[in-house]
Each structure stands twice: as structure tokens, then as C-alpha cells.
């Protein structure tokens, strides 16, 4: 047993060594022009947002005051239907506005500015991807967001600001159509995934590079997305621990992983790509609301300067909520052991939630 574990550890270390350089070389050679990013809560911990499952510090480890039968109940739609108050109490702390995007978010935005981002699929509900400037058409918020609200029973849309004001004032927003409880359009266990999630059926077969960042890859169906790219497509895991298919020894040919502190890893990756100064300039520009001229890696894309009012840069979700949602896969846990800060930012739709 010890020999096997030692061999596994040596293999993991060896597999991570040189992974960033190998992928950076592919990008610089122009072989990666349709990059997919799959991300979880690990990309937001540097912004001061706790993940959901890290023992001791994660959200699920600090819910005793809400008097719920088990941690995931706070995001269970049946439990919410019976008693919405625990979630509303937690939502007051979860609503976007208290935190800012970090270097990792701007690295992903830089992938877009280089003309390389096919799409980003995020489990996060913090809205930081949009806040850093990733366009809505390049972003799939697989587990919803606080930007819109609707009735949890009949799905009738409800003004999001009114819902937020009610929740912040310890009131319960009520649907004007059926009198059921309204909630932000965050996907709960037992709910359908948003329609935009199903863009993956077209996106993943097109990808020529998959970057997986800050996720435990435990919540289905999101976790299985990483297995739907073509076999020859390189996959890069940036995480604190090996997860999902990256736990296998040996790794699949074309799989790379870099384990450790997420922000440090991404900074080294940016340095290898020659993007560091542009990302730093982009982050500084957020203070003034003007984006500096950015170099594109594709000749057809022209660099330009863009300005906006930073007060209007709060995340806005364009996802529509209909009264009748088509059936969608439910999320389920793969049953593997949970990891650190790379865990999922939001539990996916599931009738059988699991850590």
C-alpha cells in the first residue's frame, strides 16, 4: 500500500512538472485557438470568498447557526420550499458586491482578449467573471446567479432588486402569480440546469485546449464535461489537488496538471505566455474604468481601448427564466473525497446532493 501511494505521489509530481511550459508552448505556437475554461470556487478564494467544502473554513463547515439537518440542505429546493429562511439568511452574505475579481479572473479575461476563449463554464455564483469583463456570450454560469430572480414554484420572473431588498430586510419575497416564495436564480439541488449550460454539446467537440481551474470535479453533470473533449485535445488542470481523471496513474497522454497555490500558478503561466504586464495593466485600469490597449494573438483581431462606468459594471445575467423548464440532467456526486479550495462554488442541480 505504501509503495503504491509513493509511486502515485511521484507520478503526480512528475506529471505536474513542465505542464505549464508545455501548454504555454502550444498556445504560443498558435495551436490553441478554441480554449475552454472550466472553473469552480478555487478561482475566487483569492478574492476572499470561501469555497463550499474545505474542512474547517468552507461554507458547509460553518452553517451550525442556521439549524439545518445537513449542510447541503441550505441549497436543497425541497427544504427551501418548506423553510426558505436559512437560505435567505445566508444569501445576505452571498450577494455579489463585497468582493472584487482577482488575478485569475483577469487571466481568463486575457484569454478572451487574445481571441482564444471559446467559452468559460463556471460553477461560481459570485458574479466575478462578469465583473472583470468576460462577455456574457463567452460565459456559462452553470449554477445560475443572483442577477435575476423568479418564483421557485412557477418560475414567474420577479424584479431582482426587489427580491434582494426583501431578503436584505429579512422579508420573504412572494410571487405575484402563485404566492409561492421567490428566490434568486441560483441553481439548487433538485432544480434543472439553465438552458445555456447545454451549449456544451457544441462547444466541447470544438475545443483544442481545456483548462480546468479550482474545482473538485465532484458535482454532476458539470464534472463530466471535462471528459467530452476529443481524445487528442490537451487538458490542463490548475488546482491544489489532483481531481477527477487527473487522479489516474498514469495520466492520459495530453493531460497536464500544475498543483499548488492557484494564484501563484496562474501568475507563472501568464509569465510564460508573455501576458503578465497586460494583465497587470488591465487590473489597474479597473480603478479608472478604462481598459488599456491589449495585444491580440490573432492578426484578424484589432486591439482597442474600451471605457465604461465602473458603477455600472455589476454582473447582469441575460439568462431568461421561463415558466416551463424542459427536463435537464440532475446533478449527483461522484462519491469521491472532497478537496480544498478548488471545490465547486455552487452545488449543481441535484436530487441527491453530496459532499
Q: What is the pLDDT along the chain (355 residues), one digit of tens a residue?
A: 444 444 444 444 444 557 899 999 999 999 999 999 999 999 999 988 866 655 555 565 556 777 788 878 888 999 999 999 889 988 887 888 888 999 999 999 999 999 999 999 999 999 999 999 999 999 999 999 999 999 999 999 999 999 999 999 999 999 999 999 999 999 998 899 999 999 999 999 999 999 999 999 988 899 999 999 999 999 999 999 999 999 998 999 999 999 999 999 999 999 999 999 999 999 998 766 655 555 555 444 333 433 333 334 333 333 333 333 433 334 444 433 333 333 333 333 333 333 3
Q: How far apart are CA 312 and CA 200, in angstroms?
A: 29
* 124 in a labelled binding site: yes
CB contact at 8 A, 328 and 192: yes
* 44 in a labelled binding site: yes
Q: How far apart are CA 8 and CA 16, in angstroms?
A: 12
* 340 in a labelled binding site: no
pLDDT at residue number 67:
78
Ranges of beta strands (E only) in the chain are 35-39, 117-122, 139-141, 144-151, 157-158, 182-186, 209-213, 235-239, 255-259, 290-291, 306-307, 331-332, 350-352
Active-site residue flag, 99:
no
Q: Indicate left, alpha or beta for 28 from its phi (over 0: left) and psi (-120 to 50: alpha).
A: alpha
Q: How far apart are CA 29 and CA 11, in angstroms?
A: 28
pLDDT at residue number 302:
38
Task: Tell me the whole-structure pTM to 2 decimals.
Answer: 0.77
Ranges of beta strands (E only) in 300-345 are 306-307, 331-332
Which residue is catalytic, options 143, 152, 200, 241?
143
* 185 in a labelled binding site: no
* 215 in a labelled binding site: yes
Ranges of beta strands (E only) in 215-254 are 235-239
Q: Indicate left, alpha or beta for 348 from its phi (over 0: left) and psi (-120 to 50: alpha).
A: beta
3-class DSSP assignment, residue 180? coil
Residue showing cell 463567452: 138
* 290 in a labelled binding site: no
**CA–CA distances in Å: residue 350 to residues 50, 207, 284:** 22, 27, 40
Taken as a whole, the chain contains a residue count of 355
* 156 in a labelled binding site: no
* 42 in a labelled binding site: yes
CB contact at 8 A, 146 and 322: no
Amino acid at each position: 500500500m505504501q509503495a503504491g501511494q509513493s509511486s502515485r505521489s511521484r507520478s503526480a509530481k512528475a506529471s505536474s512538472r513542465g505542464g505549464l511550459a508545455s501548454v504555454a508552448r502550444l498556445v504560443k505556437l498558435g495551436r490553441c485557438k478554441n480554449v475552454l475554461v472550466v472553473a469552480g470556487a478555487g478561482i475566487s478564494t483569492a478574492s476572499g470568498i470561501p469555497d463550499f467544502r474545505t474542512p474547517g473554513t468552507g461554507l458547509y463547515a460553518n452553517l451550525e447557526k442556521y439549524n439545518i439537518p445537513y449542510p447541503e440542505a441550505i441549497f436543497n429546493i425541497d427544504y427551501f420550499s418548506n423553510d426558505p429562511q436559512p437560505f435567505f439568511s445566508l444569501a445576505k452574505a452571498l450577494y455579489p458586491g463585497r468582493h472584487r475579481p482577482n488575478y485569475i479572473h483577469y487571466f481568463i479575461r486575457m484569454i478572451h482578449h487574445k481571441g482564444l476563449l471559446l467559452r468559460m463554464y463556471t460553477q461560481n455564483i459570485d458574479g466575478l467573471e462578469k465583473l472583470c469583463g468576460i462577455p456574457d456570450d463567452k460565459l456559462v454560469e452553470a449554477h445560475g446567479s443572483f442577477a435575476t430572480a423568479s418564483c421557485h414554484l412557477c418560475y414567474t420572473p420577479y424584479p431582482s432588486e426587489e427580491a434582494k431588498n426583501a431578503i436584505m430586510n429579512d422579508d420573504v419575497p412572494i410571487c405575484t402569480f402563485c404566492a409561492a416564495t421567490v428566490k434568486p436564480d441560483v441553481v439548487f439541488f433538485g432544480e434543472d440546469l439553465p438552458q445555456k449550460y447545454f451549449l456544451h454539446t457544441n462547444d466541447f467537440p470544438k475545443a483544442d485546449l481545456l483548462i480546468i481551474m479550482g474545482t473538485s470535479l465532484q458535482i454532476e453533470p458539470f464534472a463530466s464535461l471535462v471528459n467530452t473533449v476529443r481524445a487528442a485535445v490537451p487538458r490542463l488542470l490548475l488546482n491544489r489537488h489532483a481531481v477527477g481523471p487527473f487522479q489516474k496513474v498514469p495520466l492520459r497522454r495530453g493531460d497536464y496538471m500544475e498543483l499548488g497555490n492557484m494564484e501563484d500558478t496562474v501568475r507563472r503561466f501568464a509569465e510564460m505566455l508573455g501576458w503578465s504586464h497586460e494583465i497587470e495593466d488591465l487590473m489597474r485600469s479597473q480603478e479608472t474604468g478604462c481598459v488599456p490597449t491589449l495585444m491580440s494573438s490573432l492578426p484578424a483581431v484589432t486591439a482597442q481601448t474600451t471605457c465604461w462606468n465602473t458603477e455600472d459594471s455589476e454582473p447582469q445575467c441575460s439568462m431568461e427564466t421561463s415558466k416551463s423548464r424542459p427536463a435537464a440532467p440532475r446533478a449527483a456526486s461522484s462519491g469521491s473525497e472532497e478537496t480544498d479550495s478548488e471545490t465547486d462554488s455552487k452545488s449543481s442541480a441535484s436530487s441527491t446532493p453530496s459532499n
